[in-house]
Homo-oligomer: A and B are copies of this chain.
Amino acid sequence: MNAPTTLTHLVPEIAQRAVPQALLDALAARFGAQCSTAMVVREQHGRDESSFEAPPPAAVVFAESTRDVADAVALAAAHDVPVIPFGVGSSLEGHLLAVQGGISIDLGRMNKVLAVNPEDLTVTVQAGVTRKQLNDEIRSTGLFFPIDPGADATLGGMSATRASGTNAVRYGTMRENVLGLEVVTASGDVIRTGTRAKKSSAGYDLTRLLVGSEGTLGIITEVSLRLYPIPEAISAAICSFPSIEAAVRSVIQVIQLGVPIARVELIDHHTVRMVNAHSKLGLREEPMLLMEFHGSPSSVKEQAETVQEIASEHGGQAFAWASTPEERTRLWTARHNAYFAAIQSRPGCRAISTDTCVPISRLADCLLDSVAEADASGIPYFLVGHVGDGNFHFGYLLDPNDPRERQVAEDLNHKLVTRALGLGGTCTGEHGVGLHKMGFLVTEAGTGAVDMMRTIKRALDPKNILNPGKIFSL
């Protein structure tokens, strides 16, 4: 294991490649008003929710079709210029930064739901459709798409980072829920992967290779997804615990028993306080589990009774139901806004979010030691977790003008990741590697596996123009 990361490692390596005027002219000729070189537009596309900074891309193409994406990539390829796909800009790990220069391709206008097949529980969307838009548009079918990262991200971006969220414990992540893709390759060709069949053994699983490839192997332009029937009964509950440990031990037992719980989120007492302030709630300011049960009315009742019993054995109390859709929505909106609630709690701060995920049996060990370290550091933080999956996030709330705080937070993260890897876990459950975890990836996967990734990257993108400088150095 390496020595703790020092701040200097966290400044992305900036090695801007030239963007010839001839390319900008060609883009202007091909795309007209769909291409912008205005600084405000470039700057908006040159950052994400991470605290990294780099010079903005030289131009932004607003693609309205797969053909637009393919043409933009082909033009950039002709000039050896990097291309970076952009959805809504909600990445947390520096994925969108033009660390080697180049152009941004904004897929936000590719926002059509192309085909809903309710009888097959599938849907095909353009990459710029967001998760909330999708659920709004399919509501009348009685189906829903469960994957819900905090932000209202695009389904293309969620595919590219292998996102998940609060429902993953029951419904899986983008890995399990993407059936097929349309992708623009490094040469500007368009390929399709997968079919609408539920399973297949037909050749290499290009779909799964591209899901989570962070724009480095191709630009996702269409996504076919699995949908699920909206459960007959849905019930949400909250339960307060005397300690984080008691809450986590309850969750471990629920999972080990095979209870098909749909959501089980940990919120620590700091974060409950922030959420109360932000969302005008009166939750007990103690470690809390926020849970949801899906199924038939009797199955939901049975699941909830089992969980309530387990929680009581661990000192859980104030088990309370949100029985109306409005109450449920209010609680889950509050949970999804925890990040913003935390940011508001320290005006002017920036958050650095961790994303470790460990085997469920090691969750308490991993979490408790890291809480002790965070408490000792004096840095304010929030703590939320998709604990049913063994995944949790500390968000260290930093004064951006105090490099010492940044160093302390990165040291905390380094200790946490080191601990998680030692317990058989991963440095990133759902945010991706981006710029932030390139060093951790080598420690986690080993040089041999990362070299295999590099070999694939070099073969599929020989000019290194697809979102270069992310995941690993070449």
Given contacts A189-B448, A212-B205, A456-B459, contact A390 B119 (CB under 8 A): no
Q: For the complex, give the distance between the alpha carbons of A448 and B66 in Å.
A: 15
Considering the complex, which residues of chain A in the window 143-184 have a beta carbon less than 8 Å from any beta carbon of chain B?
Answer: 161-164, 168, 172-173, 175-176
Minimum CB–CB distance for A393 against chain B, Å: 13
Asked whether A202 lies within 8 Å of B437 as measured between CB atoms, the reply is: yes
Q: Is the CB of B202 within 8 A of A426?
A: yes
In the complex, which residues 428-474 of chain A have their Cβ closer than 8 Å to any Cβ of chain B? 428-433, 437, 440-441, 444-446, 448-450, 452-453, 455-456, 458-460, 471-472
The answer to whether B460 and A200 touch across the interface, beta carbons within 8 angstroms, is no
B-facing residues in A174-218 (Cβ within 8 Å): 175-176, 185, 189-193, 195-206, 208-209, 211-213, 217
Q: List which A274-315 residues lie within 8 A (CB) of chain B.
A: 295-296, 298-299, 302
Q: Do B196 and A441 touch across chains, with their CB atoms under 8 A apart?
A: no
Contact A358 B197 (CB under 8 A): yes
Indicate if the CB atoms of B453 and A195 lie closer than 8 Å.
no
Contact B197 A424 (CB under 8 A): yes
A198 contact set on B, CB distance < 8 A? 357, 359-360, 389-391
CB distance from A231 to the nearest CB of B (A): 7
Complex Cα–Cα for A441 and B460 (A): 20
CB distance from A44 to the nearest CB of B (A): 25
Quick one: which of A185, A197, A201, A217 has the most chain B CB within 10 A? A201
Q: Is the CB of B211 within 8 A of A429?
A: no
Given contacts A120-B359, A121-B256, A208-B209, is CB(A201)–CB(B455) below 8 Å? no
A197/B359 in contact, CB under 8 A: yes
| Contact flags A253-274 to B (C-beta < 8 A → 1, else 0) | 0011110100000000000000
Determine the chain B residues whose CB is within 8 A of the CB of A452 once the complex forms.
Answer: 185, 191, 204, 206, 460
Bound: A201/B386 CA distance, A: 15
Q: CB distance B204 to A456 under 8 Å?
A: yes
